[in-house]
Structure 1
Amino acid sequence: MRKIEITTMSDLPEKIESIRVSLERIYGAKLNVEFSALPVRSLCPTEEFLEKDKLALILMKILNEGYKVPIITVRKGGSYYILDGHHRSYVLLKMMEEKTESYVVRFPDEVSYRAPQKRPLEDLPILDVAPIEDSILKAWSQIITLLKYYEAIYGAPFYLKIEDAPISDVVPTQPQVGGKQVSSINKILVPIVCLKRHGKYYILDGHARALKAKQMGLSCIRSVVLTSIVDVDYGIIRTVNAVGLRSLDDISIVE
């Protein structure tokens, strides 16, 4: 498995200074760095793609560890171009965060930053740059996979809401789960992924984890809910209702 490098608070000062010095050499001008809270939707990418395994790792660290490291940007006009922090900016955007902390490199009035063509951060393709061998990280990456899948089939942006789903309101979308899948889980380390409709949580990924939570006597399970800004009639929910799946009690555990 490849080593995924993410910025930490300890190496952030060195990274800021390295970027500032590099840009000063390129542009031949003295640059200042300011600290600010920026609207996430004002951010523009300077990279061509995002890496799925890195997105999964950052999402996991944000939800499990409270990972929160400022990004580094450069201002041009009313827009801010990301120099460091594309992946954490994308995750925050998809979690519907309004602002993010940033160190902003400021150019003098007489010098203009040569920005790439402006485009939305959400438009960047997400690539599988390397196989994900770690089973936990692979499960987290499934959240990103499902997010992009639903955006593709419904032609609309989807976002992530983190909720504690009551076990009694969790609805399966498949009739069977392997017993070994359930018994191999000792601790629930990854949220289930759901669609939510009329107070019910329809599982897209994590049936075994949901069943394990029920067996453990938990009243709730952490859930990542995929939600869209437009009203969507989900075909999978129609199918589930048609076949009569209503609760986790309707799942058969097969050996």
Structure 2
Amino acid sequence: MGNHRIMKWKPNTNEGEIVAGEYEHGNKIGQLNLPTDVVIDEENNSLIITDKHNRRVVRWFNGTQQEILIENISCPSIAIDKYGYIYASDLEKGEVRRWKIGENEKETIVAGGNGPGNQLNQLDAPYFIFVDDEQSIYVSDHANHFVMKWLKDAKEGIIIAGGNGKGAKLNQLNRPEGLFVDDFGQIYVVDRENHRIMRWNQERKEGEIVVGENGQGLGPNQLSNPMDLSFDIEGNLYVSEWDNHRIQKFDLIFE
């Protein structure tokens, strides 16, 4: 993010490899300016990157060839579904849009689209997104302090985590960001300003803390302004931290 590049780290290595954005930040086609999210497009063997301060989404092919996919968008997060659609959140417009990769069809608004706000048909600073196999969209609403689920073709979303104002109780969130939904429908969400990772069952009113019960800090059992999360195929959790400039790995068994 702050170094304006994408790094690849192999397991058990001490150094990473720059795979996008080798040069100083800028707006040329081979440069990045505050990238915030990246997904791997396996079908096209490329990286799709949110180039946030350049207001665009770009594709990088093996580090040497780049193209702009989406322009003029304040986009912090992207996702790709199994049908080859790309989804992008727009902070300023309060919406999530969908495009078909490789086709020139017009984008479709799939969440929000009614201006920033706190109603069920609105979003306010949508940040990270997740798309499941049924094309339901999960959105961390940064300003409303909740996570919403939008079913395919829905006109309104459903609040599935938070929704009780900004706070640190188990039924609250404070600036949610990265999120992931497992095969059991449980939501893992970065509760950024509470410095913790929460797990929510969609049928319950409260979440549970899975990482970050020991307050903000530098310790191996602490977080400081976490931003995003991911899982590997073995169920290990990875968390990126803004303040600590690191990614931590946690052993976690899906329950």
What range describes the TM-score normalised by the shorter chain of this pair?
A: under 0.3
* Structure whose alpha-carbon radius of gyration is higher: 1
Higher strand content, 1 or 2:
2
Say which structure, 1 or 2, has more relative contact order (CA 8 Å, 6+ apart). 1
Higher helix content, 1 or 2:
1
TM-score scaled to structure 1, two decimals? 0.24
TM-score scaled to structure 2, two decimals? 0.24
